[in-house]
Structure 1
Amino acid sequence: MTAIPVSAITIVGLGPGSMDDLTLEARRVLAQAAHDKQTVYFRTIIHPTVEPLKQDLPELRIESFDRLYDESDDWSSLYQQIATEVCDLALQHPIVYVVPGHPLVGETSVQLVLEQARKRGITTRIVSGLSFIEPVCNLLALDPFEVGAQIIDATNLAISHIDEVAGKIIPTIPLMIVQVYNRRLASEVKLALGECYPDEWPVKLVRAAGVGEEEAVLEMPLYELDRNNFANHLSTLYVPPVPELSALRLPETLRYITMRLRREPDGCPWDRQQTHDSLKRYVIEETYEVVEALEENDMDKLAEELGDLLLQVYLHSEVARQADEFTLGDVYEHVNAKLIRRHPHVFGTVEVDNSSQVVQNWEAIKKQERASAGVDVHNESVLDRVPQATPALMVAQEYQKRVIKTGFEFTSLQDVYAKLEEELEEIKQAASPEEQLEEIGDLLFMVAKLAGFLKVDAEEALRLANRKFRRRFQTMESLAREEERPLTSYSRPEWEKLWARAKEAIASN
């Protein structure tokens, strides 16, 4: 027999399951290994081709990694273990590593072997095989290229954090999940898919595609995937696409909805007439509703209000897209690039010891960005770039915080109190409405200064006072209703007693 050159690792594809699908090159490599009495390492011997191979090549020495499937409790390390063992063996002598299907189609272990081999200086060679895709698509009467089908390894899906699943899967296009090799993995796959699909969504488990009479397509709702023992080493799960308006947990659905609402001529008349200017008030309203949910510590409400605020982002982006100003992709690009750029201690090589250093780096990077944009950073005011649409108390405290860096600050708390009393006296002396307006503004500015000196957020403090007043007054209203009296009938002394009762009632709760 003519010797066949063998690389340090020769990776052979067995095809989907029938001996008729084994390529001539794969047969030659395996026959050479049998002739040389070389041990061949199979990822798994649970494959219909293995027994016929043993009969055809009785001298073929086979070892498999099936033990790892039973021993491993961690899906994320299973294929890594296999790859490490394969490369360790290859450093001792050339080996043949055999996998089902085509080595480069749906074979995570092969990708890990190739990655490790490159790092460890091990040469590799791929011997192609017919992949599982062709017979699976044959059974499903599906052209994967026409429908843009996604293909993902079951193990990779199983180890995805639940929050990452929606980023890996687009449920509005067909999905094929390969290597669903046992019931335990089927259970993990089901849980992952539950993030994007309804429990009742119909799926198809394709078994032994390309293996003659063993072929089967089992239809079931998603929730039944792990309630049987149908999954095995020759199983592929096919998940049909959901309608565009059914994938409610995905950003793409919101993008589709906003485009559909503003589409001519069959969109929503109200949405179509909105502009950046007309939507400004809703951005402000939704922002404050998010803050309110945060203050109430209502997580269900917060999730809803964040969605309403996100809608404003998508609406403005769609208005801009239609006007050829920018697209939603530009929004994502700006924020992603900015976060990467401003966190070199996370995404780069910069090292920091604490959050103060993070803030210092952040400010330095922002200054560099402005300089690159043509801003004369040497002649900038420290009060520049404070949005004037921000609530006035927040603007006041931000101004005060910035000027402190220049040394413009009171020396003591007593000085702040003295200035506050001075401003209060000037209000008393103000003779005209214009003077009163100005002096009350000065007083409020100094109240913000006092709050900052005491490390108190003035805006938050006022919102807290507002909530406290609302709670007490609404309690007074309830007490008045119990007494069957209108609030307008109470005298000043009665008001004071009612207020005290309201405070006591709230405190007791």
Structure 2
Amino acid sequence: MSGSITVMGLGSGNPEHLTLGSLRKLKEAQERYVRTKEHPVVSWLEETGVRFTSFDAVYEAKQDFPSVYAEIVERLIERANQLPEEQEIIYAVPGHPMVAEATVKLLRERCPAEQIALNIIGGESFLDVAFVRLGFDPIEGFQLLDASDISAGTFNPRLHTLIGQVYDEFTASDVKLSLMDIYPDDYEITVGHALGVEGSEQVVTVPLYELDRVSGFGNLSLVYVPANMDDALRIRTLDRLHEIVSILRSPGGCPWDREQTHQSIRKNLIEETYEVLETIDEDDPDHMREELGDLLLQIMLHSQMEEEVGTFSVFDVIQELNEKLVYRHPHVFGELSAEDAEAALRNWDAMKAEEKRRKGIEPERLSALSGVPRDLPALMKAYKLQKKAAKVGFDWEHIDAVWAKLEEEIFELREAVKMKDLSEQTLELGDVLFSVVNTARFIGVDPEEALSQTVSKFVRRFSYVEERLHEAGKTPGTSSLVEMDNLWEEAKENERR
């Protein structure tokens, strides 16, 4: 067996708050280590003759905090393994060992596997002092966050929020930017330095935008964001959106929203999707933001309908999406690699096939054309089906054969038109369009995108014709084809300039 490790909390910084038991144990210890000497209690203890070996040099040698913490734990375990069972290492940390202390978390994970006894002696946490100095009761709702690991999604404005590990102005700036995603720029927040340490404590309340302009950030600094029940502060959160949609669908909500079903708003989902596409084509970010919101509403409504009958909620949708994204990107979240987009796509397809096997579906027995949505617009559907067929080798070897097939289909369409058989004309026209899609695919052009650009060009040029006719006091209906054709050519010429 190895020696044991006892982790001891040094408290928030006031030596008077160190317990007699902890002080006695420190004085009697044969080996004492401290994560950092940058703590008021350490200085006081050394003045009384209690000496420590610190890990401050590790901070200088490593590039990031996770590496620092891993190295400290490695050294402690290595030393414990060199000692006899009856000997103990004291490892002292600021505050309480179980509050925001990453090295203790790592020790608790590793010591059992190393057969090293781990003991933990508490200490006054910075939270104890913060509750008193900042004047709030955590039972009202409270969250503790690490400044190095926050984003807009971690904040809940309805909870009192303490952010620890705000070591310097750069970290404070990152915290400020994350908070600004939720809170107004002038929202009042409080910075606390060395809370509870006589002669060093500072408490400053400033508007959020001034957070990183406060001086004095260090190892004993934190940021306090008061709780606020104003729904305006939650207006950027998914929780608030979920709440609003559930209210709209509730008995006391909107009569129209309550009456809707999956089928009744099915067309809305399609329409909103195309409106988003329009904003993409127009390169209009402001309009795109609005239309993406309208599309998201459709997703929320469909999810809410299922939540009401107990099948799933929008949070289940998000969970499944997150799991799928992680699983299908093993070159990002796993051990595989992908040197280019084609390799990434191969990984994606392989993981999709594996998902099917887990569901009891044998991908090898599925049609090569499976997986194309039934209700896709015909042009897009033809393109996807052809791509799937080409993947398994059902494709022309050279573009000359593609041209020949297109010319053959056009000839057959002409013959059908001569016969004046509407049914035959429809079939032959479909063959021509299918061949055009095949041509587009063969040359690497998305036919939907190509046709969309042509439609936009037609609308732009025809609008020019209408504007010029209007200036002359005319309309297309009162103008000759020659006049309109001349203006059309004029519009084309203007585009070339």
TM-score normalized by the length of structure 1: 0.82
Q: Deviations over 1:395-417 (max 9, x none)?
A: 11222233334554445234223
5+ residue gaps, structure 1? 1-5
Q: Which whole-Å CA distance do the structure 1 matches of 2:238 and 2:293 have between them?
A: 10
434, 455, 458: which one aligns with 2:447: 458
On the 8 A contact 1:102/1:131 being kept in 2, the answer is: yes
SS across alignment from 2:213: coil
439, 442, 449: which one aligns with 2:428: 439
Alignment of 1:418-429 (within 5 A): 418-429=407-418
Residues 39 and 407 from structure 1, CA distance in 2 versus in 1: closer, same or farther, beyond 3 angstroms?
closer
On the 8 A contact 2:5/2:91 being kept in 1, the answer is: yes
1:152 partnered with 2:145: yes
On the 8 A contact 1:9/1:122 being kept in 2, the answer is: yes
1:53 partnered with 2:39: no
Q: Which whole-Å CA distance do the structure 2 matches of 1:340 and 1:180 have between them?
A: 31
1:258 Cα deviation after fit: 1.6
Q: Deviations over 1:303-348 (max 9, x none)?
A: 4333322222111101111133321133123323333443444444
Q: Which residue of 2 aligns with 1:491?
A: 480
61, 68, 75: which one aligns with 1:81: 68
5+ residue gaps, structure 2? 83-87
SS across alignment from 1:152: strand
Alignment of 1:108-507 (within 5 A): 108-111=102-105, 124-144=118-138, 146-154=139-147, 156-157=148-149, 165-211=151-197, 217-229=203-215, 231-242=217-228, 243-265=230-252, 267-350=253-336, 355-356=341-342, 358-360=344-346, 362-370=348-356, 373=359, 380-405=366-391, 407-410=393-396, 412-507=401-496
On the 8 A contact 1:80/1:109 being kept in 2, the answer is: no
On the 8 A contact 1:419/1:446 being kept in 2, the answer is: no
Q: Which residue of 2 aligns with 1:3?
A: none
Q: Which whole-Å CA distance do the structure 2 matches of 1:404 and 1:54 have between them?
A: 76
Q: Deviations over 1:79-104 (max 9, x none)?
A: 63365257447645775432221012
1:120 Cα deviation after fit: 8.2
On the 8 A contact 2:163/2:222 being kept in 1, the answer is: yes
Residues 352 and 189 from structure 1, CA distance in 2 versus in 1: closer, same or farther, beyond 3 angstroms?
closer
Residues 224 and 112 from structure 1, CA distance in 2 versus in 1: closer, same or farther, beyond 3 angstroms?
farther
Residues 236 and 31 from structure 1, CA distance in 2 versus in 1: closer, same or farther, beyond 3 angstroms?
same
Read off the aligned partner of 1:507 and give its amino acid letter.
Answer: R
1:11 partnered with 2:7: yes
1:359 Cα deviation after fit: 4.2
Q: Which whole-Å CA distance do the structure 2 matches of 1:455 and 1:297 have between them?
A: 23
Q: Which whole-Å CA distance do the structure 1 matches of 2:20 and 2:153 have between them?
A: 40
On the 8 A contact 2:37/2:54 being kept in 1, the answer is: yes
Residues 353 and 445 from structure 1, CA distance in 2 versus in 1: closer, same or farther, beyond 3 angstroms?
same
Read off the aligned partner of 1:53 and give its amino acid letter.
Answer: L
Residues 426 and 367 from structure 1, CA distance in 2 versus in 1: closer, same or farther, beyond 3 angstroms?
farther
Q: Which whole-Å CA distance do the structure 2 matches of 1:83 and 1:356 have between them?
A: 37
Q: Using the aligned pairs only, state the percent identity.
A: 38
CA RMSD of aligned residues (A): 3.4
19, 22, 25: which one aligns with 2:21: 25
Q: Which whole-Å CA distance do the structure 1 matches of 2:260 and 2:279 have between them?
A: 27
Q: Which whole-Å CA distance do the structure 1 matches of 2:414 and 2:35 have between them?
A: 90
Task: Give the number of aligned pairs.
Answer: 485
1:465 Cα deviation after fit: 0.7
Moved more, 437-446 or 85-94: 85-94
Residues 52 and 357 from structure 1, CA distance in 2 versus in 1: closer, same or farther, beyond 3 angstroms?
closer
